[in-house]
Amino acid sequence: MKKDYIQGIRSALPIILGYIPIGFAFGVLAVQQGLSILEIGCMSTLVYAGSAQFIGAAMIASGATTASIVMTTFLVNLRHLLMSASYSPYLKHIASPIQSLIAYGITDETYAVGIVHAEETTHTNISANFFLGLHITSQASWVVSTVLGGVLGNLIPDPARWGIDFALSAMFIGLLLMQIKDKKDILVAVCAGGLSLLLATGTSGHWNIIIAALTAATIGVSIELWTKKLSLYS
C-alpha cells in the first residue's frame, strides 16, 4: 500500500512542474480581479479546476450572477464526467466512497497520468493508494502555487504583458500533444478544434466545447472499431 502511494506521488512530479506556473498565473490574475488570498485558497481547494477557476474569477470580477457562474463552470468542466466514466471499468473492485474521492481529484493532468497507469496495470492490481498519492500531491501543489501567485500578484502590474493570461491555454496545448500517438488522434484533435470554432460562431456560452468533444470522441471510437473489424477480416 505504501509503495503504491509513493508511486502516485512520484507520478505527480511532472504535473507539479506544470501546476506551479499555471497556478501562479491564476493567483496573479485572481488577486487583480478582486479576489482575496483566502478566496483564492478556498477556490483552489473546493473547485480545483484550472479552467473553471480562471473563468469563475473573471466572471466574479465582471459582476456576473451566481447562477451564471455556476452554470458556465459546470459546462466547461462537463468533460470530467466522461473522464470519471472511463475509469469505472478499472476501479470496480474499489469501494464506492473511495471512488468518489478519486473522482474529486480528477483534472485533465491527473487523468492523463491515471488512465495510462490503469491501462498498463492488471485490473485487480490497481490500488486506490496510487490515485490518492497522485491526487493529493497534485492538488497540494496547485493550492500552494495559486496562493503564492495571489500573495505576489500585486507586484506584477500588467500580467498580460508577460503572457500570464495565456498560461492555461498553453497547458492544454501541451496536454494535447502528449496524447497524440497516431493519425487517428490527429484526426480527432482536428475535428474537435474545427467543430468547436465553427459552433462558437453560432452558439452562446460554452456548448461548443461540449458538443465538439462528444462528437470528436464518437468519431475516434467509430474509427477504432472500424479499424479493428478490418483487421479481423484481413
Residue 163 and residue 222 in one domain: no
- The closest of 50, 144, 135 to 101, measured between CA atoms, is 135
Contact between 73 and 55 under an 8 Å Cβ cutoff? The reply is yes
CA–CA separation, 90 and 121 (whole Å):
9
Residue 165 and residue 229 in one domain: no
- The closest of 60, 44, 126 to 93, measured between CA atoms, is 126
Residue 166 and residue 185 in one domain: no
Residue 42 and residue 133 in one domain: yes
Can you read off the three cell numbers belonging to residue 121?
Answer: 496495470
- The closest of 123, 105, 124 to 11, measured between CA atoms, is 105
Please provide the DSSP assignment of 98-143 as one string: HHHHHHHT--HHHHHHHHHHHHHS-GGG--HHHHHHHHHHHHHHHH
Residue 234 and residue 145 in one domain: no
Residue 199 and residue 137 in one domain: no
Residue 150 and residue 35 in one domain: yes
Residue 56 and residue 66 in one domain: yes
Q: Which of 137, 163, 179 is the last residue of a domain?
A: 179
Q: Which of 179, 195, 219 is the last residue of a domain?
A: 179
What is the pTM (predicted TM-score) of this model? 0.71
- 77 three-state secondary structure: coil
The pLDDT value given to residue 233: 65
Helix axes 207-233, 183-200, angle to 10 degrees: 150
Q: Which of 142, 157, 179 is the last residue of a domain?
A: 179
- The closest of 5, 217, 207, 14 to 109, measured between CA atoms, is 14
Q: Which amino acid is at 192?
A: A
Residue 58 and residue 73 in one domain: yes
CA quadruple 223, 225, 228, 232: dihedral sign: negative
Contact between 210 and 77 under an 8 Å Cβ cutoff? The reply is no
Residue 132 and residue 39 in one domain: yes
Residue 23 and residue 96 in one domain: yes
Residue 31 and residue 101 in one domain: yes
CA–CA separation, 110 and 128 (whole Å):
14
Structural domain of 108: 2-179
Q: Which amino acid is at 164?
A: I
Number of domains into which the chain is organized: 2
pLDDT in tens, the chain (234 residues): 788 999 999 999 999 988 998 898 889 888 888 899 999 999 999 999 888 898 888 888 888 888 878 887 887 787 788 888 888 888 888 888 999 999 999 998 899 899 888 888 876 678 899 999 999 999 999 999 999 999 987 777 666 666 666 666 666 676 667 667 777 778 888 888 888 888 878 766 666 766 777 788 788 778 777 877 767 665
Can you read off the three cell numbers belonging to residue 112?
Answer: 492523463
CA–CA separation, 108 and 139 (whole Å):
12
Contact between 175 and 108 under an 8 Å Cβ cutoff? The reply is yes
